[in-house]
Amino acid sequence: FGKFIRIHFTQSGKLCGCDIVSYLLEKSRITEQQAVERSYHIMYQLSQPYGDKICPEGLRERCRLSADIYDYIYVSQGKTKVDSIDDNEELEYTEDAFNVLGFGEQEKFDCYMLTAAVMSFGGVEFKTKGRDDQAECENTGPETFPGKAAAGCGIDAFLMIKAFCKPRIKVGTEWVTKSQTCEQAT
């Protein structure tokens, strides 16, 4: 479950109220799109030119994202552009909202990085090893999807893939390593 918090401000910027809506957060809302829908708008905002003003090296570069939205399966299965939405302007509004709410530079960057990591997770591919159904991911370098996703989460790519492919589970009083299939690792 998730909560959407709408904060209301007066014309002068003073807090005047809020309301909270609870909703079911579905994995499928992030990983799949209908042909006529668009994914979460922040994902499209990250690659906009306004991001160059947010940090010296540019937001897209800092988040290790490519310029091609079609590199990210989670956000390119449906609509990638909506004529009535200016993603560059929306990124400016997002940045302003972070500032109004008192987010520090590192807090803002962490939000952007985690969003970029979610986008990158869609490119992580697992293959079957040998004759058994054990999943493995061969490439975990810094410029691969696993490397970028792990960096966005602030963790080591090799250890992340190991946790996906061979998680440790507790059986009785002992910890054992369980091999996962590609479907389970995904």
22 contacts: CB under 8 Å, gap ≥ 6: 1, 2, 3, 4
What per-residue confidence (pLDDT) applies to 40?
80
The model's pTM is 0.78
What per-residue confidence (pLDDT) applies to 25?
61
- φ/ψ of 3, rounded to 5, equals -130, 135
pLDDT along the chain (186 residues), means of 10: 81 88 70 80 89 89 91 89 92 95 94 94 89 86 94 94 92 90 89
Helices 105-121, 87-100: axis angle to 10 degrees equals 140
Nearest to 158 by CA among 184, 128, 124: 124
